[in-house]
Amino acid sequence: MLHTTVLSSWGRAIRRALDAAGVDSARLFAEAGLDVAALADPDARYPLEQTTRLWALAVRETGDPAFGLSVATQVTQTTFHALGYALIASGTLREAFERMVRYFRLVTDAADLKLERDGDSYRFEVGYVPGVMPAPESVDAFISLFLRFCRSQLGREFSPLRVALRRARPAQVERFDAVLRCAIDFGAARNAVWFAAEPFERALPDANPELARHNDEVVVRYLAHFDRDNLRARVRAALIEALPGGEPSAQKIADLLHMSLRSLQRKLADEQATFAAMLAEVRHELARSYLRNPHYSIGEITFLLGFTDASAFARAFRRWEGCAPSAFRASGAPDVAAH
């Protein structure tokens, strides 16, 4: 599974919606495997897998299939970091949605947003990277939130032309009708919203190019740090996933990460890293961890690390630690990364 994440401040909106529904939000976060302390850190991120679990728990506890619509009402300008302010300062809705497409990785790197002209309308599509299946309630929340933003700029009567949702038709469809105020196609092939072109290109009253540029710069700096840290995490996760199938090539890992081999090599080089060094680093780290677990035999560890046989594993381990795997296990070495 890809190591995708979501900005933890999105979790604040979920928590407020749970609290408003009378649900013990702290208990649900713990059950989902999420640390509520991270909600206070504007730069923290949650793994998408645990966040998706939180959505499912929230629907179960509230009994509300339209819970995502409630979460959208709890979002504030700071929920989306500097991107929220850049959106408000945009010159038109088209410019704002183009910003969302360009910078939404700040909110989640699982999303794949698209904005395209479609005749006399614009189609805004909320897709996701391959291998990711988010909670349908998160899509409900995002689309509802985007419409709330449009109405904050053009007036409460603003409505899209139509909406398509991949989710099944919910029991409380009237909630969706009241929020979206247009024809809704449930069980569709994609999640998308269609907007008339004229209001989408109309000048907005709160436009402030200087403020928009300033917050764009903040977003770009955040993403530069995120991309640096996230690339290593993604490569590491892909290596752990691929190793039991044998030593993976750089091309194999690039394919798992949906990027070209050249792009992977260039990005690693930008971080003064190489694929070979990361492969050795991950194997070394996992080997130390597995050897401390008496339930893993040397043969099983050899397989999990992608070595062809135990002797190949032993040779590599001697290079890392200066001793055989069996000697390391017998010594009960502490769990401290070797240097």
Is pLDDT above 70 for 323?
yes
Is pLDDT above 50 for 87?
yes
Residue 3: per-residue pLDDT: 67
Say how far apart CA 96 and CA 212 lie, in whole Å. 10
Q: Which CATH number fits domain 5-207: 3.90.1520.10, 3.30.70.20, 3.40.50.10490, 3.40.50.300?
A: 3.90.1520.10
Is pLDDT above 80 for 152?
yes
Are 186 and 167 in contact by the 8 Å Cβ rule? The answer is yes
Q: For the chain, where do the domains classified as CATH 1.10.10.60 start and end?
A: 223-331
Q: Please state which CATH number belongs to domain 223-331.
A: 1.10.10.60
Provide the β-strand partners of residue 183.
Answer: 162
CA dihedral 279, 254, 5, 110 (to 10 degrees): -170
Nearest CA among 57, 193, 55, 49 for reference residue 127:
193
Q: What integer is the mean pLDDT of 64-93?
A: 95
* 3 state SS for the chain: CCCCEEECHHHHHHHHHHHHCCCCHHHHHHHHCCCHHHHHCCCCEEEHHHHHHHHHHHHHHHCCCCHHHHHHCCCCHHHHHHHHHHHHCCCCHHHHHHHHHHHHHHCECCEEEEEEEECCEEEEEEEECCCCCCCHHHHHHHHHHHHHHHHHHHCCCCCCCEEEECCCCCCCHHHHHHHHCCEEEECCCCCEEEEEHHHHCCCCCCCCHHHHHHHHHHHHHHHHHHHHHHHHHHHHHHHHHHHHHCCCCHHHHHHHCCCCHHHHHHHHHHCCCCHHHHHHHHHHHHHHHHHCCCCCCHHHHHHHCCCCCHHHHHHHHHHHHCCCHHHHHHHCCCCCCCC
Say how far apart CA 132 and CA 11 lie, in whole Å. 19
Are 338 and 284 in contact by the 8 Å Cβ rule? The answer is yes
Q: For the chain, where do the domains classified as CATH 3.90.1520.10 start and end?
A: 5-207
| Percent of the chain residues topping a pLDDT of 70 | 96
Query: Where is pLDDT greater, at 32 or 118?
Result: 32
Quickly state the pLDDT bin for 85 (edges 50, 70, 90): very high
Q: What integer is the mean pLDDT of 240-245?
A: 88
Are 184 and 162 in contact by the 8 Å Cβ rule? The answer is yes
Q: What integer is the mean pLDDT of 142-147?
A: 97
Residue 224: per-residue pLDDT: 82
Distances, alpha carbon 156 to alpha carbons 127, 147, 159, in Å:
27, 10, 8
Residue 295: per-residue pLDDT: 79
What phi, psi does 213 have (nearest 5°)? -65, -40
